[in-house]
């Protein structure tokens, strides 16, 4: 196998996840406008952004398989972005505490030839009722200011939840590896070049 694989990210979490598959790849940041389009559903937004990241890098790497991913946290129609600071993280968690929200992770694979492929994993996230003191202690410990929804479930954030319902837990961290492998197979990545 001599195909080049590029992961369109600078996220260390996504990089660490893809390393689990023992495939050679390069990670390159792909900057795209992450604002929600008017009337766009959370699921459509996740897929559009994953594809936009892959498409952006495919322009400069046309002979590579380019993988983009995006994650959207939604409570009803409200989307929670990366908070950027501790105060905003606390505000987001107080809105989510005691409620069930959806975490949608989308991936897009753009092969050198052929149509782009897409997949999506959705999780139903049931957060425990929390006090402001508990939320502030968590945020101070885990510093989830660069995480959509203001939690890191792969770290201390697991204690915020009663349940997480879905079928590929790596999607919660940011890259559903079962879907990544399937899309690579479908796109012919493992076939001799």
Q: What residues are annotated to the active site?
A: 70
Q: Give CA–CA dist 61/50, Å, rounded.
A: 17
DSSP 171: H
DSSP 61: -
Instruction: Report phi then psi at 128, rounded to 5.
Output: -65, 155
- Name the nearest CA neighbour of 162 among 137, 130, 140: 130
Beta bridge partners of 69: 107
Interhelix angle 132-142/86-96, nearest 10 degrees: 130
The HSE-up count of residue 115 (CA atoms within 13 Å, CB side) is 2
Take residue 158 and report the two structure tokens written for it: 């697991």
- Name the nearest CA neighbour of 126 among 96, 157, 83, 95: 96
Interhelix angle 177-186/12-19, nearest 10 degrees: 60
């Amino acid at each position: 196998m001599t195909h080049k694989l590029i992961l369109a990210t600078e996220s260390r979490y996504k990089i660490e996840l893809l390393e689990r598959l023992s495939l050679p790849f390069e990670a390159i940041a792909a900057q795209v406008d992450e604002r929600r389009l008017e009337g766009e559903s959370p699921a459509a937004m996740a897929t559009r952004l994953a594809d936009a990241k892959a498409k952006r890098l495919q322009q400069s790497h046309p002979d590579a398989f380019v993988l983009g991913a995006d994650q959207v946290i939604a409570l009803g129609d409200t989307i929670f972005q990366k908070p950027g600071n501790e105060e905003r993280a606390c505000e987001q968690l107080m809105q989510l505490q005691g409620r069930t929200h959806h975490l949608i992770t989308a991936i897009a694979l753009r092969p050198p030839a052929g149509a782009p492929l897409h997949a999506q994993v959705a999780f139903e996230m049931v957060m425990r009722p929390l006090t402001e003191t508990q939320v502030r202690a968590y945020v101070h410990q885990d510093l989830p200011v660069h995480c959509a929804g203001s939690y890191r479930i792969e770290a201390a954030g697991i204690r915020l939840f009663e349940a997480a319902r879905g079928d590929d837990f790596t999607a919660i961290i940011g890259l559903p590896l079962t879907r990544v492998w399937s899309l690579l197979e479908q796109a012919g990545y493992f076939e001799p070049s």
